[in-house]
Structure 1
Amino acid sequence: MPTQLDSPLARRVVALAFLVSIFGLTAWVLSPFLAALAWSGILAYVTWPSYRRVCRALPRRENLAALLMTLGVTATLLLPLVWVLLTVAADLAGASATLRQIAASGLPALPAGVHAWPGGAWIAAQYERVQADPAWVRAQMSALGLTDIASLKVVVGGVGRNVAKFALAVFALFFLYRNGTSVLGQVRGVATRWLGEAARGYLHAVGVTVRAVVFGIVLTALAQGLLAGLGYWVAGIEAPALWGVITALVSLIPFVGPVVWIGLSLSLLAHGESVAALGLFLWGALVVSWVDNLIRPLVISGPTRIPFLLVFLGVLGGLHAFGLIGLFLGPVLLAVSVAIWREWLGHARPDAA
C-alpha cells in the first residue's frame, strides 16, 4: 500500500527540508569566517588580472604563481597599514595626553578671534556655557571612553581579532587564486541551472559592482585621506596622520569627508592662523573634495549603469546592516536587484506593445 511519502509532492517537501537543513547548518558553521572569506573573494577578484599575468610568466606553475600573488597582495596591504598604525599610535599618545589634561583642567579659553566671526557671539556664549561646567565635560569624555585605559585595552583586543581575520583572509586568498577558475565555473553552472541564462547577467552585475566600489569608494577614500593628511601637515595641524586616517574612514561614506577638514579649518581660524585656515579650506575644497564629488560618481555610475543615489544608499544601508563588509554587499545587492528589474522591464515591453 503506498504511503504518503511516495507522492511526488511529499518527496519534494522532504528533499527541500533536507537541503534547507544542510545548507543552513553549513552557513552556521562557516558564519564566524564569512567576513574574512568575503574579503578574500573581493581581493582575488580585483587582483585577478594581475594573477593571470603572473601565470603567463610562470606557465604550468599555478601554485608558485598563487603564492607570489598572495605574498604580493599581503605586502601591499600590510606594509602601509603597519606604517599608518605606528604613526597613528604616536599621534594618539599625544592626543590622549591632551584629552586627559582637558578632563582634569577643563576646556581651554576660546580664542578672541571667534567673536569677530558671523554669529561668533552666539558660538562664544555656547562654548563658555560648556566651559563653566567642567564636571559635565569630564562625564562626557568618560562616557566616550576617551581617557579610560580599560577602553583602550578593549580596542587593542579588537585589533587582535581583526589581525586573525586578516590572516585567515590571506590564507584563503591563496586557494582562491589556485582554484578560482574552477570555483567560478561551478558557481556559474549552479546559478545557470537554477536561474537560467539570466544568472550570467546577475553574476556580471556583481563583478562590475565590486570592482566599481573598490575603485570608486575605497581607493577614493584612501586618496582623500592621503591628500587631506598632506594638507594637515602643511597647515601645521597637530597629529596630521591621525586626522588623515579619520578623514579616510569618514570619506568611505560619500560627501561626509568635508566635515573633518572644514572643522580643522575653523579650528585654525579660531586660533588666529587665518592664512593656514584659508589654505587648508581651499586645499580641501579644490583638491580633496574634487576627488569625492567628481571622480567617485563617474567611476561608480559609469561601469555599473546604476544611479549614484542607489549606490550611495547601498553603501549606507550596507554599513548599517553588515558592518565594513557592507560597503560591498550593499551596492552588490542593489546592483543585482536593478539587473532583475531591468530584465523584467525587458520582458514586459513586448507584451505591452
Structure 2
Amino acid sequence: MVTRPPAASPEPDSPSRQKMQRVASAVLYAGLVLLALWIIRDFLPAVGWACVIAIALWPLLHKIEDHTWLRGRTTWIAAILTLAIALLVVLPVALGIGQASHEAHDLLEWFKGVQENGIAMPGIVQRLPFGAQQVTAWWQANLAQPLRESPAMKGLHGEAVMTFGRHFGARAVRGLMVFGFMLVTLFVIFQAGPRLSGALLKGAQRAFGENGAQLLDRMAAAVRGTVAGLVVVGIGEGALLGLAYEVAGVPHAALLGLVTAVAAMLPFCAPLVFCGSAFWLFAQGAVAWAIGLVVFGFIVVFIAEHFVRPVIIGNSTRLPFLLVLFGILGGAETFGLLGLFIGPALMTVLMVLWTDWVR
C-alpha cells in the first residue's frame, strides 16, 4: 500500500501565506471598525455635526492659528471657537423661549375665551370674492360656538396630548445630549488642529493613493459649500423677509425673521412661515399687505433656491444643479438634518467616480 506524502503547507514568508494574512487582517480590521461604530452608534449624530462644523470652519481655524499672537495656543483657540458655536445656537433659542414666555399669558387668556365664547369670524370673510357663504356656514357650525364641548377641545385633554408631551420631552432631552457631546467633540477636533487633518490625509493616501487624498479634499469642499449655501442663503432670506414683516406690520418681525432664516436653511420650508404671517394679515383685513408679502416671499425664495444656493454649492463642488438638489433632498430624507450636508458630499464622490470611469 502506497501512502502519499502530506501536502506541504505554505512557507511562513511565501506569497500565498502573506496574501492570506493580508485578507485576514483586512477582515479583522473591518469587523473591529464595525463593532466600534455599533458601540458608539448613539453618539454618531454628535460626531457627524461636529465634523460638519469643523470642516466648515477649518479655513478660519488655520487663519487664527497663523496669527502671531495666537500661535501655539491651540487649547484657547479651540475653547473660544467652541464657545462661539454654543452661543450662536443657545442665544436664538433663548430669545425665542423668552419671547414665547411673554406671549404665554395672552395666549392662555385667548384660549380660555375660545372655550367659553368660540372664535369670532373675521369680517374679511364676508368680503371674499367667492366662497363667502360656504366659509361662513362652516365657521358658524365649527368655530363660532363655545368650544369647551367640541371634539377638538376634548382631544386636547386626552391621552394623545400626554403621549405627545412625553415624546417631546424625550426628544428634547436627546437633543440636549447630542448638542453637549457635539460641543465636546468639536473642542477636541479644534484642539487637534492641523495634526488631525495631516493624519487624515496621510491615512487616505496610504489606503487609496493620491486619488483618495484628492477625493477627501473635494468632499470637505462639498461640505463647506453646502454649509455656505444653506446657512448664508438662509440668513439672507430671513433678513429680507424680516424687513418685509416690519414694513407689512406683522408683530414680532425680528423674531419671525429669525424663524424664517432657520426655516430657509431647509429647502422649501420658508414659505410655511411667511404664508402663515400673510394669513394673519389677511385675517386682520390687510389684504393688500398679505398678497404683497406672499408675492415678495415667493420671489425671494425662488431666486435663492434656484439661482443663488445652487451656484454657491455647485461652484465649490463642481456639481450640476440636479445632483446638488438630489443630494440635499435625498440626504435630508435619509439622514435627517445632518443629511443636508452629507448628501452633497456623497454626490461629489459619485461625480468623481463617474469622471474617472469615463476618462
User: Where does structure 1 lack aligned partners over 5 or more consecutive residues?
Assistant: 347-353
Q: What is residue 67 of structure 1 aligned with on the other side?
A: 79
Cα 1:308–1:89 shift into 2, 3 Å: farther
Aligned length: 343
TM-score w.r.t. structure 2 length?
Answer: 0.79
Most deviating of 252-261 and 115-124: 115-124
CA RMSD of aligned residues (A): 3.6
Instruction: Answer with 1 or 2: which has the greater Rg.
Output: 2
Write out aligned runs for 1:61-100 (5 A): 61-91=73-103, 94=106, 98=110
Cα 1:25–1:99 shift into 2, 3 Å: farther
Write out aligned runs for 1:273-312 (5 A): 273-287=286-300, 290-312=303-325
- The superposition leaves residues 165-223 of structure 1 with CA deviations (integer Å, 9 ceiling, x where unpaired) of 22222222222122132222222222223323221332122112111111111332233
Partner Cα distance (2:274, 2:30) in 1: 50
Q: What is residue 329 of structure 2 aligned with on the other side?
A: 316
1:328 aligns with 2:328: no
1:17 aligns with 2:27: yes
- The superposition leaves residues 43-90 of structure 1 with CA deviations (integer Å, 9 ceiling, x where unpaired) of 222222322232223223333333333333333443334323322454
Partner Cα distance (1:80, 1:207) in 2: 28
Q: Give the deviation of 1:261 after TM superposition.
A: 1.5
Is the Cα contact below 8 Å between 1:253 and 1:316 reproduced in 2? no
Cα 1:185–1:226 shift into 2, 3 Å: same
Partner Cα distance (1:306, 1:25) in 2: 34
TM-score w.r.t. structure 1 length?
Answer: 0.80
Which amino acid in structure 1 is aligned with residue 310 of structure 2?
P
Q: Percent identity?
A: 28
Cα 1:71–1:262 shift into 2, 3 Å: closer
Cα 1:84–1:263 shift into 2, 3 Å: closer
Partner Cα distance (2:243, 2:236) in 1: 11
User: Where does structure 2 lack aligned partners over 5 or more consecutive residues?
Assistant: 1-5
Q: What is residue 45 of structure 2 aligned with on the other side?
A: 35
Q: Give the deviation of 1:141 after TM superposition.
A: 6.1
Partner Cα distance (1:24, 1:73) in 2: 31
Q: What is residue 284 of structure 2 aligned with on the other side?
A: 271
Q: What is residue 349 of structure 1 aligned with on the other side?
A: none
Cα 1:216–1:166 shift into 2, 3 Å: same
Partner Cα distance (1:5, 1:125) in 2: 92
Write out aligned runs for 1:87-166 (5 A): 87-91=99-103, 94=106, 98=110, 104=115, 108-114=119-125, 116-121=127-132, 131=143, 135-138=150-153, 148=161, 151-152=164-165, 154-166=167-179
Partner Cα distance (1:20, 1:248) in 2: 42
Is the Cα contact below 8 Å between 2:120 and 2:144 reproduced in 1? no
Partner Cα distance (1:97, 1:310) in 2: 50
Q: What is residue 187 of structure 1 aligned with on the other side?
A: 200
Partner Cα distance (1:185, 1:211) in 2: 18
Most deviating of 190-199 and 1-10: 1-10
Q: Give the deviation of 1:241 after TM superposition.
A: 6.0
**3-state SS of 2:267 partner:** coil
